[in-house]
């Protein structure tokens, strides 16, 4: 199949974000699906997600595992439990293990490196880490131990809004865009993304962010609609921060799909997951619609059941009652029902090949 692809410029991105013309939006879905088919093909790659710890020292205003949420029982998985999840990933046919946690400097860099090394010695899995902002030596240590990918969402490129919802730790500042550049320098496959519909986020700002995906030349892009969590400050003050109607990005599931589709158009070779947030908001069809509108990755949850409910970044997270086998079986059914194939191997981003 041939498909001449010209990525949309910022004005075209903005037009699609704000369009209320059903035909124009349907054209976006078709173009994103065609672009996905041409650049990354029909395989849907499965990543086994392991939520290693819900301990976090940050106080992001939107996140259910923020430090000041006293309603939450905290946990850190044992290294043997994480290793068991890695073997479960192999058993059910996944090519990648994703280790995710809250930001916690008490999690020692060497402990993570030892786990990464052991997973690499015992399996052929690719490893994606999503452990937040860490000292540079940790990023280097983990990559040397065998970690392949790092995911760090910049959430919004609007600096004032970022600092408001994501207050820095005392005496520290944060520049996630420069961290992303550094991760690429170290040799990681680099992933990032944004939240859609944060109170105070304008369509102009979101269009800038989607355009920034291209500038960052991302290998992975993770996006999802903002879902208010009742135990967070943003749930109660969000309305006061919202911009006037027509300027404020709506945190709807459809707006999330539009951002997935536009991400596919600006970074045609990136790996883009249809995330749990879509299933939470739109039921089982949410994951399918994400896959039909540009996504090519699904991340079934391998976190042991006893921990899963405690990792509640947002409320009513989908699949919190499924075990690993059920989560995997549901994903496989959906992929096959769409006429797509299940990806084999590591599922590295074709974007990596451009510079090789």
The pair of three-digit structure tokens given for residue 166, joined into one six-digit string: 């994501």
Task: Give yes or no for a contact between 185 and 140, defined as CB atoms under 8 angstroms apart.
Answer: no
276 vs 189: which has the higher pLDDT: 189
- Above 60 in pLDDT, residue 230? yes
Which residue in this structure is represented by tokens 């520049």?
175
Question: Would you place residue 350 in the very low, low, confident or very high pLDDT band (cuts 50, 70, 90)?
Answer: confident
Output the pLDDT for position 11. 97
Mean pLDDT throughout 237-251?
92
> Is the C-alpha dihedral spanning 173, 129, 274, 310 positive or negative?
negative
pLDDT reported for residue 72: 92
Please give the share of the chain, as a percent, with pLDDT higher than 90.
Answer: 79
pLDDT of 328: 83
Phi, psi of 287 (to 5 degrees): -65, -40
pLDDT band of residue 356 (cuts 50, 70, 90) is very low
Kindly report the average pLDDT of the chain as a whole number: 93
Q: What is the pLDDT of residue 64?
A: 93
Question: Are 258 and 20 spatial neighbours (Cβ–Cβ below 8 Å)?
Answer: no
Residue listed under structure tokens 């600006």:
266
Residues 6 or more apart from 1 whose CB is under 8 A from it? 37, 38
Tell me what the mean pLDDT of segment 83-106 comes to. 96
Tell me the two tokens of residue 232: 């967070």
Select the more confidently predicted residue: 236 or 97. 97
Q: Rounded CA gap, 273 and 173, in Å?
A: 29
Cα–Cα distance measured from residue 212 to residue 204, given in angstroms and rounded to the nearest whole number: 12
> Exposed, middle or buried by CB within 10 Å (0-12, 13-18, 19+), for 252?
middle
Per-residue pLDDT for 67 more than 50?
A: yes
| Both structure tokens of 210 | 């989607």
Task: State the pLDDT confidence band at 3, using cuts at 50, 70 and 90.
Answer: low
Residue 283: both structure tokens together? 């039921």
Query: What's the average model confidence in pLDDT over 190-198?
Result: 97
Give the CA radius of gyration of the chain: 19
pLDDT, residue 50, reads 97
How do the domains of the chain map onto residue ranges? 10-345
Taking the C-alpha atoms of residue 227 and residue 343, their distance in angstroms, rounded to an integer, is 30
Q: What is the pTM of this model?
A: 0.95
What does the block give as tokens for 309? 């409910």
The pLDDT value given to residue 61 = 95
pLDDT for position 317: 61
pLDDT at 354 over 90: no
Structure confidence by residue, pLDDT tens digits, 16-47 = 999 999 999 999 999 999 999 999 999 999 99
CATH domain 10-345 topology:
TIM Barrel (3.20.20)
Contacts of residue 112, Cβ cutoff 8 Å, sequence gap at least 6:
99, 129, 131, 138, 141, 142, 145
Q: State the Cα–Cα distance between residues 30 and 199, nearest whole angstrom.
A: 30
Q: How far apart are the first and last CA of the chain?
A: 24
> What distance in Å separates the CA atoms of residue 216 and residue 157, rounded to the nearest whole number?
12
Res. 118 pLDDT band, cuts 50 70 90: very high
**Which residues, at least 6 apart from 105, have a Cβ–Cβ distance to it below 8 Å?**
57, 134
Of the listed ranges 12-21, 195-204, 314-323, the least confidently predicted one is 314-323
Res 169 pLDDT > 90: no
Question: Which pLDDT score is estimated for 355?
Answer: 46
Query: Among the listed ranges 116-120, 178-182, 278-282, 292-296, which one has the minimum average pLDDT value?
Result: 278-282
> Is pLDDT at 59 greater than 90 in this prediction?
yes
Q: Is residue 331 pLDDT above 90, yes or no?
A: no
Q: What is the 3-state secondary structure (H, E, C) of the chain?
A: CCCCCCCCCHHHHHHHHHCCCHHHHHHHHHHHHHHHHHHCCCEEEEEEEEEEECCCCCCCCCCCCCCCCCCCCCCECCHHHHHHHHHHHHHCCCCEEEEEECCCCCCCHHHHHHHHHHHHHHCCCEEEEECCCCCHHHHHHHHHHCCCEEECCCECCCHHHHHHHCCCCCCCCCCHHHHHHHHHHHCCEEEECEEECCCCCEHHHHHHHHHHHHHHCCCEECCEECCCCCCCHHHHHHHHHCCCCCCECCCCHHHHHHHHHHHHHHCCCCECECCHHHHHHHCCHHHHHHHHCCCCEECCECCCHHHHCCCCCCCCCCCCCCCHHHHHHHHHHHHHHCCCEECCCCCCCHHHHHHC
């Amino acid at each position: 199949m041939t498909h001449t692809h010209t990525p949309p410029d910022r004005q075209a991105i903005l037009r699609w974000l704000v369009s209320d013309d059903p035909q124009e939006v349907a054209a976006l879905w078709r173009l994103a699906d065609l672009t996905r088919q041409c650049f990354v093909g029909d395989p849907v790659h499965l990543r086994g997600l392991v939520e290693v710890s819900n301990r976090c020292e940050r106080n992001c205003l939107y996140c259910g595992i923020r430090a000041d949420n006293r309603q939450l029982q905290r946990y850190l998985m044992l290294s043997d439990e994480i290793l068991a999840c890695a073997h479960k990933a192999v058993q059910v046919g996944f090519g990648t293990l994703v280790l995710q946690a809250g930001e916690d400097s008490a999690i020692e860099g060497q402990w993570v490196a030892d786990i990464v090394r052991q997973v690499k010695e015992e399996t052929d899995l690719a490893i994606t880490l999503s452990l937040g902002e860490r000292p540079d030596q940790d990023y280097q240590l983990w990559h040397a131990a065998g970690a392949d990918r790092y995911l760090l969402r910049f959430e919004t490129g609007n600096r004032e809004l970022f600092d408001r919802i994501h207050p820095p730790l005392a005496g520290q500042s944060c520049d996630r865009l420069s961290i992303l550049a550094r991760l690429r320098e170290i040799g990681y496959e680099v992933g990032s993304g944004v939240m859609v519909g944060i109170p105070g986020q304008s369509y102009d700002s979101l269009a800038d962010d989607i355009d920034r995906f291209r500038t960052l030349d991302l290998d992975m892009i993770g996006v999802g609609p903002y879902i208010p969590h009742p135990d967070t400050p943003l749930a109660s003050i969000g309305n006061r921060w919202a911009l006037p109607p027509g300027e404020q990005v709506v945190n709807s599931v459809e707006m999330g799909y539009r951002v997935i589709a536009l991400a596919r158009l600006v970074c045609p070779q990136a790996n883009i997951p249809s995330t749990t947030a879509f299933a939470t908001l739109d039921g089982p069809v949410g994951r399918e619609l994400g896959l039909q509108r540009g996504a090519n990755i699904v991340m079934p949850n391998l976190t042991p059941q006893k921990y899963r409910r405690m990792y509640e970044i947002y409320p009513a997270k989908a699949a919190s009652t499924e075990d690993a086998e059920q989560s995997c079986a549901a994903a496989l059914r959906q992929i096959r029902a769409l006429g797509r194939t299940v990806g084999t191997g590591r599922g590295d981003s074709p974007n990596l090949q451009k510079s090789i």
